[in-house]
Amino acid sequence: MCFGGGGAPKPPAPPTPPPPAPTMASPVVQAARDDERKRARLAAGRASTILTGAQGLTVPAVTGQKSLLGQ
């Protein structure tokens, strides 16, 4: 049972699609990726592998009470 007649209104037109994103094969994208990797590698340097100083650990290790398994 339809009241008023006439039918449903037409839906609005869909929005235009966005421009295509640059692909991973693009030379500009590859150059930027390589530059970023090189910059990160140079920033890390040797210091990224050294976890303690020349004196070793200067604070005693934090240990808890003995447990039944760890006696």
Say which residue, 43 or 31, is predicted with more confidence. Answer: 31
What is the chain written as a DSSP string?
A: --SS-S-PPPPPPPPPPPPPPPPTT-HHHHHHHHHHHHHHHHHHTGGGT--SBTTB--S--------STT-
So what's the pLDDT on residue 47? 63
Say which residue, 47 or 7, is predicted with more confidence. Answer: 7
Say which residue, 1 or 55, is predicted with more confidence. Answer: 55
Q: Is the pLDDT of residue 45 over 80?
A: no
